[in-house]
Amino acid sequence: MPARILNGAPIRDQIYTELKQEIAELASMGIRPGLAAVLVGNDPASTIYVHSKIAACEQLGLGNIHLTPPASTTTADLLTIVRELNARDDVDGILVQLPLPQQIEAKKILEAVDPAKDVDGFHPMNIGRLIEGRPSMVACTPLGVMEILRRSGIPVEGADAVVVGRSNIVGKPMALLLMHANATVTVCHSKTRDLRHFTRAADVVIAAIGRPAMITRDDIRPGATVIDVGVTRMTDSRLAETIFANSPERLEKFRKTGTAVVGDVHPDVAEIAGAITPVPGGVGPLTIAMLMSNTVKAARLRRGLRAPETAASRA
Ligand code: GUN
């Protein structure tokens, strides 16, 4: 039986409905949460991401500032920008889009962001809080995955969960969130000797590796839940012919456009999984939704206001 498809859009819309209510409540108190996005240089993928983030702010009526310093920006210049944003009262969330140009010491920048405004959850203080189990700002993509699981009624407590990938942005915080939700968590990575041994035993597999279609049917136990965090823009037609061999519509579209976005999970996994997120359209929409949620949450916390029991208060 084909898998249940876990689309991100309806879940994002649900979260936006809740957030709009919260934003209206804050507006009645004279508060308008605001996000500052800093994009250094003009990397095409990053430009699209940041535009989507700003567009989401506009859609929800959040304040937004979009700064675009040149690719030649130095660490010192960027530190100055971050410190100015830290000091602004109309800025509740600060996002420095990654990756940064090579000459910039990214770690210094991420550590300079006021932890209370760190809507990406990348500051060591926020990572420490997450490890302790009293999270404040948590990375958006793993938070989005938790929302998909929760709002789709997929049990996590007591489940065997395997996270494939150990990045600071996704894999590590993902494993911590699942652990705090009482899953039994295994983290696999590029040096794992027998990946399939672990993934085949899992109730829930989270793929966050960054290698197109790496997780195949034989890696997944029939009926398991598969969450695909990977996003790779593919232009190699030989690779596309292989990956889309059983997906005629996607192959046709690739042949027409010469490009396609694929996840870390092979499309054929949808034939045997119990539930699966598509790429595109699965986890992606939730990442931005959780950024909006974190921005509203930061606005509340900074003013000592308790968050209601909605997406914004959960981590
Ligand atoms: N680059 C890729 N993902 C992210 C993210 O979640 N936040 C930021 N700031 N940059 C990214």
Catalytic one among 92, 97, 172, 203? 97
- CA–CA separation, 271 vs 3, rounded Å? 6
How many angstroms does the Cα of residue 265 sit away from the middle of ligand 1?
A: 21
Give me the pLDDT at residue 159, please.
98
Cα distances (angstroms) measured from residue 205 to each of 178, 198, 209, 257: 11, 9, 12, 31
Give me the pLDDT at residue 158, please.
98
Tokens of 68: 């675009």
- CA–CA separation, 57 vs 9, rounded Å? 16
How many angstroms does the Cα of residue 28 sit away from the middle of ligand 1?
A: 32
As beta bridge partners, residue 37 has 66, 95
Could you confirm whether 92 is annotated as catalytic? no
**Sequence ranges of the chain with CATH classification 3.40.50.720:** 140-285
Encode burial over 16-54: b for 16+ CB neighbours within 10 A, e otherwise: bebbeebbeebeeeebebbbbbbbbbebeebeebbeebb
Give me the pLDDT at residue 230, please.
96
Give me the pLDDT at residue 310, please.
54
- Please state the atom number of ligand 1 nearest to the C-alpha of residue 139: 6
**φ, ψ (nearest 5 deg) of residue 276:** -150, 145
- Residue whose structure tokens are 């690739």: 254
Catalytic one among 118, 120, 219, 268? 120
Parallel/antiparallel/unpaired status of strands 184-188 and 93-96 = unpaired
Q: Averaged in consecutive runs of 10 residues, what is the pLDDT profile of the chain (315 residues)?
A: 96 98 97 98 96 98 98 98 98 98 98 98 98 95 98 98 98 98 98 98 98 97 98 96 96 97 97 98 98 98 81 47
Q: Is 106 helix (H, G, I), strand (E, B) or coil?
A: helix
- Please state the atom number of ligand 1 nearest to the C-alpha of residue 140: 6
Give me the pLDDT at residue 313, please.
44
Which helix (H) or strand (E) is 1 found in, with range?
none
DSSP code of residue 255: H
- CA–CA separation, 259 vs 65, rounded Å? 32
- Residue whose structure tokens are 């996003």: 231
Could you confirm whether 102 is annotated as catalytic? no
Give me the pLDDT at residue 1, please.
83
Neighbours of 149 (CB within 10 A): 25
Question: CB of 97 within 8 A of CB of 45?
Answer: no
Could you confirm whether 97 is annotated as catalytic? yes
Q: 94 in ligand 1 pocket by Cβ < 6 Å?
A: no
Note the CATH architecture for domain 140-285. Answer: 3-Layer(aba) Sandwich (3.40)
As beta bridge partners, residue 65 has 36
Q: What is the CATH class of 30-114?
A: alpha beta
Catalytic one among 53, 117, 172, 297? 53
- CA–CA separation, 199 vs 226, rounded Å? 10
Q: Quick check: bond before 308 cis, omega within 30? A: no
**Sequence ranges of the chain with CATH classification 3.40.50.10860:** 30-114
Tokens of 254: 């690739």
DSSP 37-53: EE--S--HHHHHHHHHH
Instruction: Give the tens place of pLDDT for each residue, 6-40.
Output: 999 999 999 999 999 999 999 999 999 999 999 99
- CA–CA separation, 301 vs 303, rounded Å? 5
- Please state the atom number of ligand 1 nearest to the C-alpha of residue 46: 1
Give the residue from 119, 143, 117, 128 showing the smallest Cα distance to 311. Answer: 143
